[in-house]
Structure 1
Amino acid sequence: MTDTCTPSMAHAIGESAATTVASTLKALADPFRLRVLSAIATDPRGESCVCDLAELADVSQPTVSHHLKVLKDTGLLASERRGTWVWYRIAPEKQHAVSSLLDAFAPAALANQTSETSDAALAKADALVEMDARVTRLAEELADEHADQSRDLVIAMVRESFAGLARAARVPQHLIPLTERFARQRLTDLARERKTGVPQVLFVCVQNAGRSQLAAALVNQLSDGRVVARSAGSAPAADVHPHVRSLLTEIEGGQRTDAAFPKPLTDDAVRAADVVVTMGCGDVCPIIPGVRYEDWAVGDPALASPEGVAAIRDDIAGRVRTLIDSLTND
């Protein structure tokens, strides 16, 4: 036996290869890029466009395009322009590597999460499974109530509404009444003929937890019933932000703030609206002929100081008054 250290470096990764791998790992060392990669890899279509990926977070489409370019430069993604959109898919030669990263390494890296977190996730999953019978009963009741609509359509809409709300829900026991409210509104939207009756405005932001909720509440307060406003989000949060909920309490005089909850953006909501307003957060809505679109670049009250929140509220209120005038003055 020898007491000298004579290690062999023959099996270590080469310098050039290490540089290339490190460059790829550096590109992946960003939470949003990992989410983008996962979204593309798991998309049932086998590809995703920028408009889809912008829903992952409150970022603009140019920001998403930048992150996609970084991933493409590493060779992980391939792209193809079709019409006005660029579509991205996992490069065929990197499929196995990406699968290994997402299916093996990521779960291993997360293995140190607390048992309480795992238990809470299991409890939520169990609660959602138990709700299936209640969702079925609600769907049947609304289908009976809306006999003028296709029964299959109503049932599918209720189940889709439940699924959309369940994705972000922290407290599953509130899901059934929220699902009923949301499904009823969607059925109303489905039957509405745009350009008739009271004008309807839809405010949209990514999480539907701040600016869009505030704008809708201000329209409903200041229009005195002459305009109806709703709000939605492409990736709704679990709840309205506390700063915004306190503003809603002030606006509504302490009434009906329980009606404010983040809701998924749907095509029927856009089709029913006379005006769709995005709140400067980079969200994108379906383009429906005859619908007027506006984008308001306003601050986010959820991130602002108390003084900033007041300024944002006043800014939105001024825009709301102009919008109301445009919809109610012949």
Structure 2
Amino acid sequence: MTLIEPLPAADAPCAPAATHAIGPEAASSVAAALKALADPLRLRMLSAIATDPRGESCVCDLAELAEVSQPTVSHHLRTLREAGLLTSERRGTWVWYRIPAPRRSAVAALLDAFAPAAVEGLDPATGSPAEPVAPVPDDLDDRITHLAEELAAEMPELEDHLVLAIVRESFTALARTARITAHLVPLTERFARQRLADIARERGAGAPQVLFVCVANAGRSQLAAALVNQLSEGRVVARSAGSAPATDVHPHVRSLLVEIEGEGATAERFPKPLTDDAVRAADVVITMGCGDVCPVIPGVRYEDWNVGDPALASAEGARAIRDDIAGRVRALLDTLSPADS
């Protein structure tokens, strides 16, 4: 079966197939919603409301997002409300806004899947396309095979064929988003070591383990894992992964990770794809804006944290998100102990 169908002959009659395109009424409705969203401040307001732990935001909070007049803020909120993306309620002096239940899943998809994908591939400093992918070295396959042999020798409790499969799977998963192949082998080694450790833990025991999952694994899940490792002082092991991992940790987040872990430890952090063995090894799986992407494993505790995405926030906003995550991490650690593993 070919992946690309041949073009019809030049003299072939035009006979378009039946289409499943969106209908005109639905298209008009969607276009109106997209038109309402076609403004950076309105998108930021919607994001602030969607991630507010109260489930709603006061107009006084939203006015702090930008240095604009109150009538301008009211205009943008009215536009979102008229498009059906917000509802409002006056309580005393202030008006409160929330996302109506029928629109929450659509807004979540926009903010947690489409927005990171739209930003991905651009240089954060310039907004220009990032550097192109480098060519793959000729000896890459030999280096991956040699790496698998080394790891198999270090982990005799795991079967050689399993180690080789995990190493090759890890390389393939990371290569999908890699721009610079020169770093693929050391990144594959780190990722494969983590996966093999998870498999070994599933077969044995150890400290309680928490897995944080978001879409890109470039922001909040990385911060959460670093904070667990710091605040638990080794009592709890934290991992992170992404349902659609980015190519690198976002610069705003990397600077925060340096403050938490130091420059050397931060170099070890890179976006990783979600794997079943990581979920099975975890005592707690915490999703952060990625929806129902995690396989449900009996005996694993699941939570969902509704926090903003620091990769889409300002530097100040990223710090506020870090503080929010830190508070949640402290509460989580109070529920974990070595006896939970």
- Counterparts of 2:186 and 2:163 in 1: how far apart (Å)? 16
Contact 2:307-2:325 at 8 Å conserved across structures: yes
Match of 1:286 in 2: 295
Shift of 1:153: 1.2
Match of 2:238 in 1: 229
AA in 2 matched with 1:141: E
Q: How many residues in Structure 1 have an aligned counterpart in Structure 2?
A: 234
- Residues 138-147 or 226-235, more deviating: 138-147
Match of 2:210 in 1: 201
Answer yes or no: is 1:256 the counterpart of 2:265: yes
Match of 1:328 in 2: 337
Answer yes or no: is 1:240 the counterpart of 2:249: yes
The match for 2:277 among 257, 264, 268 is 268
TM-score by length of 1: 0.63
- Counterparts of 2:20 and 2:297 in 1: how far apart (Å)? 45
The match for 1:170 among 163, 176, 179 is 179
Match of 1:216 in 2: 225
AA in 2 matched with 1:260: R
AA in 2 matched with 1:133: D
Match of 1:106 in 2: none
- Counterparts of 1:65 and 1:202 in 2: how far apart (Å)? 21
The match for 1:315 among 292, 313, 324 is 324
- Counterparts of 1:283 and 1:248 in 2: how far apart (Å)? 27
- Counterparts of 1:175 and 1:291 in 2: how far apart (Å)? 31
Match of 2:151 in 1: 142
The match for 2:199 among 179, 190, 194 is 190
Deviation readout 1:215-244 (Å, 9 max, x if unpaired): 001111111111111101121111000000
- Counterparts of 1:66 and 1:173 in 2: how far apart (Å)? 33
- Residues 265-274 or 307-316, more deviating: 307-316
Contact 1:208-1:237 at 8 Å conserved across structures: yes
Contact 2:177-2:247 at 8 Å conserved across structures: yes
Structure (1/2) with the larger helix percentage: 1
Shift of 1:195: 9.0
1:64-79 mapped onto 2 (5 Å cutoff) = none
- Counterparts of 2:223 and 2:183 in 1: how far apart (Å)? 22
Shift of 1:199: 0.8
In structure 1, the gaps of 5 or more residues are: 1-11, 31-59, 68-116
AA in 1 matched with 2:251: P
Answer yes or no: is 1:299 the counterpart of 2:308: yes
Deviation readout 1:229-273 (Å, 9 max, x if unpaired): 110112111100000000001111334110111111111111111
Distance 1:23 1:179, change over 3 A: closer
- Counterparts of 2:289 and 2:252 in 1: how far apart (Å)? 19
- Report SS of the residue matched to 1:209: coil
Distance 1:301 1:140, change over 3 A: same
- Residues 145-154 or 294-303, more deviating: 145-154
Distance 1:260 1:120, change over 3 A: closer
Contact 1:205-1:283 at 8 Å conserved across structures: no
Deviation readout 1:158-216 (Å, 9 max, x if unpaired): 00000011111111111111111111111111111489431110000111000000000
- Counterparts of 1:306 and 1:278 in 2: how far apart (Å)? 23
Contact 2:207-2:338 at 8 Å conserved across structures: no
1:119-138 mapped onto 2 (5 Å cutoff) = 120-121=132-133, 123-124=134-135, 126-127=136-137, 130-138=139-147
Shift of 1:307: 2.5
Match of 2:35 in 1: none
Answer yes or no: is 1:156 the counterpart of 2:165: yes
- Report SS of the residue matched to 1:256: helix
Distance 1:66 1:254, change over 3 A: closer
Distance 1:148 1:315, change over 3 A: same
Shift of 1:329: 9.2
Deviation readout 1:1-40 (Å, 9 max, x if unpaired): xxxxxxxxxxx999xx9x979867997x99xxxxxxxxxx
- Counterparts of 1:156 and 1:140 in 2: how far apart (Å)? 11
- Counterparts of 1:215 and 1:225 in 2: how far apart (Å)? 14
- Counterparts of 1:65 and 1:219 in 2: how far apart (Å)? 26
Contact 1:195-1:274 at 8 Å conserved across structures: no
In structure 2, the gaps of 5 or more residues are: 1-12, 32-102, 111-128
Contact 2:179-2:247 at 8 Å conserved across structures: yes
